[in-house]
Amino acid sequence: MGRQRWIAAALLLLMTGAGAQTATAPALDEALDAPTRAHIINEYARRLTEQHVDGPRAKAAADDLRKRLARGEYDEQLTARSLAARVTRDLAAVAPDRHTYLEWVPYDLGDERQRPVPPAQSADNFGLRRFETLADNVGYLKITRFGPLDRASIEAAGRFMAQAADCPALIIDVRDAGGDGQAMAALLSSYLLVDQRSYIFRDKQLHLHDQIDREGHVTAEYWTTSDLAGKRFGGYKPLYVLVNEKTNGAAEGFAYDLQQYVKRAVVVGAPTLGDARVGLKQRISRQLQTSIAVTRASNVITRANWESMGVQPDRMTTSGAALDTALQLARAAILVQPATGKARAAQSAP
């Protein structure tokens, strides 16, 4: 019995020691000498000048970095982590941009084996979180992120959107949602839009927005699709999109495009984060990579976007009150919805 207790105690000590060692193991932090710091700053300044979507602002930021380097302001940044924090702060003072910064990572960028494994896209049903019916059968869809499109996510989107197809009104909640899946946002919009420009000639696909580079060239186009899995909600029934201060990226584009297309959706909540650009990341040292905003969104109707100012709600309210506000609006709209609106809703179904 005593021997068994001794063995158990020894094992416990070994496990505790291993756990403590793991918990206190320092993350990699690349040491930087003066020539390496100068190379990183000058190379980042060059990339900014050549790649950033806002040329004049990027040049000002690049010149500022070079001047700070010449004045010795980066002499005390002896590691990759500290240099990334300082450079990012200096960039934000001249060119505030969610996609333009110097990023430190706690692993060797040159060793693929050290890169963290991304979570499975299907783990949260591709961000398509929940459907339920509220008072008066108003549909409620909760989306937490907009991810990339593939066969599985397209099928999941069809099942998700079809749940709300027969509801007399719909609320889509993208509060706190983000992601860079602009193609997913366009796919989901396809279940909610029809061409309203003409009663005779209607396009099966609608052009929503583009991504444009610094030269004004279109690098990506986003359209609705007519080849959809599942039943559509349609382009006429009352539609509300909930947003807040944390709504960002593709979720903002989703809300903005629906708001601008013949006021298809009523946006309810607080102004969104204001992220309408797409960034490019490139390795610059063992543990540093540059991130630069290389394109901006351009809605085909407004020829503008929501950068910095965010998507502005049609009905301003706090994030916490947004759902109740939208539900009140939806129930009121159902009561006064004319018969012609119901007929149009039927016409928009596949």
265 shares a domain with 132: yes
| Residue linked to tokens 């809605």 | 299
Query: How many domains does one find in the chain?
Result: 2
99 shares a domain with 216: no
Say if 56 falls within a structural domain.
Answer: yes
Question: pTM of the full predicted structure?
Answer: 0.86
264 shares a domain with 235: yes
Say if 322 falls within a structural domain.
Answer: yes
- The pLDDT value recorded for residue 26 is 55
Say if 341 falls within a structural domain.
Answer: yes
Among 79, 107, 135, residue at a domain's last position: 107
- The pLDDT value recorded for residue 3 is 47
- The pLDDT value recorded for residue 344 is 54
Say if 27 falls within a structural domain.
Answer: no
- The pLDDT value recorded for residue 27 is 66
Say if 120 falls within a structural domain.
Answer: no
- The pLDDT value recorded for residue 1 is 44
- The pLDDT value recorded for residue 191 is 97
79 shares a domain with 147: no
Among 51, 77, 107, residue at a domain's last position: 107
Please tell me the distance from the alpha carbon of residue 103 to that of residue 106, in angstroms, as a whole number: 10
β 277-283/266-269 pair status: unpaired
- The pLDDT value recorded for residue 118 is 83
Structural domain span for residue 263? 125-274+309-348
- The pLDDT value recorded for residue 21 is 40
The CATH number of the domain where 175 resides is what? 3.90.226.10
**Given phi > 0 = left and psi -120 to 50 = alpha, else beta, which region is 227?**
beta
Q: What token pair was written down for 282?
A: 């490139």
Say if 10 falls within a structural domain.
Answer: no
251 shares a domain with 139: yes
Print pLDDT tens along the chain (350 aa). Answer: 444 544 444 444 444 444 444 444 456 899 999 999 999 999 999 999 999 999 999 999 999 999 999 999 999 999 999 999 999 999 999 999 999 999 999 999 999 888 888 888 888 999 999 999 999 999 999 999 999 999 999 999 999 999 999 999 999 999 999 999 999 999 999 999 998 765 555 678 999 999 999 999 999 999 999 889 889 999 999 999 999 999 999 999 999 999 999 899 999 999 999 999 999 999 999 999 999 999 999 999 999 999 999 999 999 999 999 999 999 999 999 998 764 445 454 445 45
For residue range 260-280, list pLDDT tens digits in order.
998 999 999 999 999 999 999
